[in-house]
Structure 1
């Protein structure tokens, strides 16, 4: 599951960087960045749980 989260985060960051390079979808770029950051925070919080 954590590999899936990292994969989604990586894809979102790449799309975000591509959006800056091509300069398309002004609001979409920031939305992708926010989604990537949410994914990273989620992964950090879930990764700390050890039972």
Structure 2
């Protein structure tokens, strides 16, 4: 689950940066990035880490 989450976060950040540069899909990408950030913070707080 941890690897999938990291993959999603990296893809969303890449799409977000692409959206900032090209001014496309801003609203959807920003919303998905916020959701991924919240999931990441919840994972850190709960201490579920896979090494």
* TM value normalised by structure 1: 0.69
Pairwise CA distance, 1:45: 2.6
Higher relative contact order, structure no. (Cα contacts within 8 Å, ≥ 6 residues apart): 1
1:22 aligns with 2:22: yes
Deviation beyond 2 Å, 4+ runs, structure 1:
none
Q: Distance in 2 between matches of 1:37 and 1:10?
A: 11
Segments of 5+ residues of structure 1 without an aligned counterpart are none
* TM value normalised by structure 2: 0.69
Segments of 5+ residues of structure 2 without an aligned counterpart are none
